[in-house]
Amino acid sequence: MTMKTLKVNPVAYQMAIEASKKKRKNLENYVADLIQADYSGGK
């Protein structure tokens, strides 16, 4: 599978950076955790 770039507006990016810092994770891991939680919660 090919990785693709996800484009977000600057405000959403800044909010994600701040939230990931609060969780002491880098942005990639934080977003991956959000996706995984949403996927597992929807089942």
- Cα–Cα distance for residue pair 19/33, rounded to 1 Å: 12
Residues of the chain with pLDDT under 50: none
Distances (CA, A) of 16 to 1, 42, 43: 25, 22, 25
Tell me, what's the pLDDT at 1?
Answer: 76
Number of C-alpha atoms within 13 angstroms, CB side, residue 16? 17
Tell me, what's the pLDDT at 24?
Answer: 97
Find where tokens 């990785």 sit: 3
Tell me, what's the pLDDT at 41?
Answer: 80
Domain boundaries along the sequence of the chain:
10-41
Neighbouring residues of 25: CB distance < 8 A, sequence distance ≥ 6:
33
**pTM of full prediction above 0.85:** no
Tell me, what's the pLDDT at 25?
Answer: 96
